[in-house]
Amino acid sequence: MKTSGLVEPSVAAEEIARVEATILRVVASRSALIPEVHQHLVQAGGKRLRPTLTILCARAVGGCDERTILFAAMVELTHLASLMHDDIVDHSATRRGKASVNARWSNGVAVLVADWLISTISHELIGHGEYAALGILTGAVRRMCEAELIHLEQRARTWELPEAVYLEIVRDKTGALMAAACELGALAAGATAEQTNALRAFGTAMGMAFQIQDDLLDLTGDPALLGKPVGTDIAMGQLTLPVLYALENSTDGLLDQLRAAVTVTSPDELDIPRLRALVNEAGGIDYSRRAAQTYVDEAVEELACLPEGPAAEALRGLAERAIRREA
Amino acid sequence: MKTSGLVEPSVAAEEIARVEATILRVVASRSALIPEVHQHLVQAGGKRLRPTLTILCARAVGGCDERTILFAAMVELTHLASLMHDDIVDHSATRRGKASVNARWSNGVAVLVADWLISTISHELIGHGEYAALGILTGAVRRMCEAELIHLEQRARTWELPEAVYLEIVRDKTGALMAAACELGALAAGATAEQTNALRAFGTAMGMAFQIQDDLLDLTGDPALLGKPVGTDIAMGQLTLPVLYALENSTDGLLDQLRAAVTVTSPDELDIPRLRALVNEAGGIDYSRRAAQTYVDEAVEELACLPEGPAAEALRGLAERAIRREA
């Protein structure tokens, strides 16, 4: 299993082990494919970032109990299901250095296993009478799907995407589930309304920073560390913040070259070193780094209303590393 | 809009119009694709069988109110979402004589719109505090996905599928959602436990009969009436009851010919008239017709504990027409 450098393994190792045990219990099924697919995903590693957020948020305002573990497991399963469906949407053949589920099995298996997971999450939370938690997760999934559809529509249309629209998409696409992860921690620990709002806002801002870092890595990352090729977003016709900024803020010769560099009909045609140089020249990389830092600062500020302690400290560390990671 | 000959339009026309209005309210979204895809599905027609079951079951034990309409709308949306995902699994290009969502847009759009619908159903039912209804629907989806995965595993393996396993798959794949549709009608109308069990069992048996008729139509149907090619199940390597029976109950020459007829590498290679003749010779068509009739009888018997009246009569009629329909 790779470490991503984002979540320090020691930060919540014991709780994460309990989350894994809960997940293993939940993915038992008459269909042999379900645990098999899950095993494949586990072997590919993963940051376990979202359950870590749930656990740390619960600890920051009270403590981590059985409900926290259940919620953390359900957040992680929601994330795994969304990855399987995203890989269909993006025709991705690899994920974390291993074959994606659609590539290893088929689109059909990726569709059905993820659908089963989503219905199993509901089943589990309803079985425990955790309706508020289910509402939080369902709301996040709904916003994620809607944002992804808006992003897809945008792909089909043009290389022009206003930055404000882009940021709204990212807020829902990546921010919503991280916000839900944090809110579920707050719910489990019986946080006050003020703490809950702060933790939700922390999750959203952290998600924004995280996604912008993903955008940067798609242009500047190392495929070996990422476990997938770079340039995949651009090759799919999907604007990322560095490219979007560069296209919006350059003129004449540079703009023509940028447009030519992003307009490809297949991923193989994409000249990443050249695109990176052009985006850099237009200031897109610097701008995106500053934007990501702004969201990290915002996230950290939200923590001010929490009691000082190791959990709040760990959350701060997570936010700061979200934009320093290389995978 | 085509009529299928299954649901008489007059049986619950006013309530179905309210169901449609509820669905239209629910599919409003910031993403233009969501109502667009829904409009495409509506234009393709559809039997509205499942919401009709919910309405008739509620009427049979009490009456149809706002909750019934809400539940009926959520059942229909669950069905639409499952169709979109099924068409990805089966690589289907047409559905009810129109392009499938995956063919008209993409697998990505079909994945995301259906995911959005599923999360929106939860959102809607949680918003109304209808946790029991959500549990019923979620349980049905879970069983459907699991059964489809087991069916997929079977595809990959062999042409041998014990009839008992096949019937269990059908019970979950088609029976579960019809049972849920009926149970939701019972829940909305405050049925007794005995009535609820009877209506659930009615839905399951009706679903079995319905699916066996689908199996028969895949072999003996008219593509023009069906709105899709025949033989698609077989071409995908999926055993249906007539073929399964024929393979299990023939020997020597006939068995060799049957095996040769079903073993194709593409749908174009399938010689449907020849396969039909061979399955018929082996008794598979007669056997399946009798099996479907047995489930209809079982469904009708379940209605015995209900008060006599037009709703119970209409349910009986639906079950009987489930195996007489040609589309």
Beta-strand pair B94-95/B98-99: antiparallel
Nearest to A126 among B138, B149, B153 (CB): B138
Let me know if residue A315 belongs to a domain.
no
- B236 reaches A (C-beta below 8 A): no
- Residue B29 with chain A: CB contacts under 8 Å: 146, 149
Q: What is the pLDDT of residues B26-49, one digit of tens each?
A: 999 888 899 999 999 888 878 899
Question: How much is the ipTM here?
Answer: 0.93
Q: What is the mean pLDDT of chain A?
A: 91
Q: Is A103 on the interface with B (CB under 8 A)?
A: no
The secondary structure of B270-307 as a DSSP string is --HHHHHHHHHHTTHHHHHHHHHHHHHHHHHHHGGGSP
- Cα dihedral: A118, A122, A124, A127 (round 10): -160
A153 has a chain B CB within 8 A of its CB? yes
Using the beta-carbon criterion (under 8 Å), do B88 and A109 form an inter-chain contact? Answer: no
Q: With contacts defined as CB-CB under 8 Å, which chain A residues touch B138?
A: 119, 122-123, 126
**A15 phi and psi angles, rounded to 5 deg:** -65, -40
| A138 and A163 Cβ atoms separated by less than 8 Å | no
Distance CA A250, CA A242 (A): 12
How many CB atoms are closer than 10 A to CB A124?
20
Tell me if B261 sits within 8 A of B271, measured CB to CB: yes
B323 contact partners, CB below 8 Å, separation of at least 6 = B209, B210, B212, B213, B289, B292, B293, B296
Residues from chain A that touch B157, judged by Cβ atoms under 8 A, are: none
Among A32, A123, A138, select the one facing B126 at the smallest CB separation: A138
Which helix H or strand E contains A208, and what residues bound it?
helix A193-220
CB contact under 8 A, B109 and A29: no
Burial group, residue B309, by CB count within 10 angstroms (0-12, 13-18, 19+): exposed
Distance of residue A265 Cα from the nearest chain B Cα, in angstroms? 17
Judge contact between B316 and B300, C-beta under 8 A: yes
Instruction: Identify which of B33, B89, B119 has the shortest CB distance to residue A142.
Output: B119
Instruction: Give the mutation candidate from A27, A29, A31, A90 for the B interface (greatest B CB count, under 10 A).
Output: A31
Predicted confidence (pLDDT) at residue B326 exceeds the cutoff of 80: yes
Most confidently modeled of B148-157, B238-247, B258-267?
A: B238-247
CA B127 to chain centre: 27
What is the nearest CA distance from B304 to chain A, expressed in angstroms? 32
- pLDDT tens, B60-115? 999 999 999 999 999 999 999 999 999 999 888 888 888 999 999 999 999 999 99
Q: Does A30 touch chain B (CB under 8 A)?
A: yes
CATH number at residue B246: 1.10.600.10
Q: What is the DSSP letter of B31?
A: S
Domain of B79? 11-302
Out of B34, B90, B142, the one facing A123 most closely (by C-beta) is: B142
The two tokens of residue B69 are 């309409």
- Is residue B221 a contact partner of residue B185, using CB atoms and an 8 Å limit? no
| End-to-end Cα separation, chain B, in angstroms | 13
CA distance A170 to A148: 9
Mutate to test the interface with A, among B86, B104, B120, B142 (most CBs of A within 10 A): B142
Contact A119 B145 (CB under 8 A): yes
Asked if A123 and B115 come within 8 Å (Cβ–Cβ), the reply is no
Contacts with A67 (C-beta within 8 Å, 6 or more apart), sequence order: A130, A188
Q: What is the pLDDT of residues A44-87, one digit of tens each?
A: 878 899 999 999 999 999 999 999 999 999 999 999 999 999 99
Does the pLDDT of residue A191 top 90, yes or no? yes
Farthest CA pair distance, chain A: 61
B109 touches chain A (CB under 8 A): yes
> Which chain B residues are Cβ-neighbours of A113 within 8 angstroms?
145, 149
* Inter-chain CB proximity B29 and A122 less than 8 Å: no
Tally of structural domains, chain A:
1
**Rounded to whole angstroms, how far apart are CA atoms B75 and B77?**
5
Which residue in B181, B185, B210 sits closest to B195, CA to CA? B185
Residue A276 in domain: yes
- Per-residue pLDDT at B3: 40
Residue A5 lies in a domain: no
- Residue A188 inside a domain? The answer is yes
Which of A83, A90, A119, A177 has the highest number of chain B CBs within 10 A, making it the mutation to test binding with B?
A119
For residue B208, give how far its alpha carbon lies from the nearest alpha carbon of chain A (Å): 20
Work out the pLDDT band at A5, boundaries 50, 70, 90: low
Question: CA B155, CA B171: separation in Å to the nearest integer?
Answer: 18
Burial of B165 by CB count in 10 Å (0-12 exposed, 13-18 middle, 19+ buried)? middle
Cβ-based contacts of B123 with chain A (< 8 Å): 135, 138-139, 142
To the nearest whole Å, the CA of B230 is away from the closest chain A CA by: 21
**Pair B62, B190: CB distance under 8 Å:** yes
- Minimum Cα–Cα distance from B121: chain A residue: A138
Contacts of A128 in chain B (CB under 8 A): none
Answer whether B150 sits within 8 Å of A30, measured CB to CB.
yes
| Cα A78 to Cα A174: distance, rounded to the nearest angstrom | 13
Structure tokens at A319: 């936010």
Q: What is the DSSP letter of B45?
A: -
Q: Which two tokens stand for residue A9?
A: 């393994």
User: Residues B270-309: pLDDT tens digits?
Assistant: 888 999 999 999 999 999 999 999 999 999 999 999 999 9
Distance CA A257, CA A276 (A): 12
Task: Inform me whether the pLDDT recorded for B324 exceeds 80.
Answer: yes
Q: How far apart are CA B26 and CA B48, in angstroms?
A: 17
Q: Is residue A221 part of a domain?
A: yes
User: Is B149 in Cβ contact with A113 (below 8 Å)?
Assistant: yes
Whether residue A156 is predicted with pLDDT greater than 70 in this model: the reply is no
C-alpha triplet B175, B45, B4: angle, nearest 5°: 65
Residue B327 lies inside a defined structural domain of this protein: no
Minimal-distance CA residue of chain B relative to A33: B149
Higher-confidence residue: A228 or A272?
Answer: A272
B87 at the A interface (CB within 8 A)?
Answer: no
Q: Exposed/middle/buried for B35, CB within 10 Å: 0-12, 13-18, 19+?
A: middle
Cβ-Cβ contacts under 8 Å, A120 against chain B? 142
Name the residue type at position A94.
Answer: T
Full DSSP string of A12-28: SHHHHHHHHHHHHHHT-
Judge contact between A119 and B142, C-beta under 8 A. Answer: yes
Name every residue whose Cβ is closer than 8 Å to that of residue B247 and which is 6 or more positions away in sequence.
B159, B160, B239, B255, B258, B259, B262, B282
Count the neighbouring beta carbons within 10 Å of the beta carbon of residue A224.
9
Please give the Cα distance from A205 to A207 (Å, whole number).
Answer: 5
Q: What stretches of B189-222 show up as alpha helix (H) in DSSP?
A: 193-220
* H/E segment holding residue B135: helix B131-157
Q: Per mean pLDDT, which of A23-27, A244-248, A251-255, B140-144 is the most reliable?
A: B140-144
Q: Does A118 sit within 8 Å of B139, measured CB to CB?
A: no
Position B157 scores a pLDDT of 59
Could you tell me if B169 lies within 8 Å of chain A, comparing CB atoms? no
Q: What is the pLDDT of residue A78?
A: 97
**CA angle, corner B95, sides to B94 and B98, nearest 5?**
70
For the entire predicted model, the pTM comes to 0.94
Residue B264: is it exposed, middle or buried by C-beta count within 10 angstroms (0-12/13-18/19+)? middle
Does residue A4 form part of some domain?
no
A85-119 CB burial, b ≥16 within 10 A, e <16: bbbbbbbbebbbebebbbbbbbbbbbbbbbbbbbb
User: Which residues touch A227 (CB under 8 Å, ≥6 apart)?
Assistant: A2, A44, A94, A95, A96, A97, A98, A327
Cβ contacts of B131 within 8 Å, gap of 6 or more: A126, A131, B125
**CA of A5 vs chain B CAs: smallest distance (Å):** 31
For an interface test with B, the pick among A138, A148, A232 (most B C-beta atoms closer than 10 Å) comes out as: A138
pLDDT tier for residue A2 given thresholds of 50, 70 and 90: very low
Query: To the nearest whole angstrom, how far is the Cα of B159 from the nearest Cα of chain A?
Result: 18
**Residues in chain B closer than 8 A to A123 (CB atoms):** 135, 138-139, 142
Q: Could you give the C-alpha distances from B87 to A113, A191, B32, in angstroms and in order?
A: 15, 44, 22
Which of A90, A116, A153 is closest, CB to CB, to B145? A116
Phi-psi region of B319 (alpha: psi -120 to 50; beta: other; left: phi over 0): alpha
In a domain, B23, yes or no: yes
Q: Give the Cα-Cα-Cα angle B293, B299, B304 (nearest 5 degrees).
A: 130
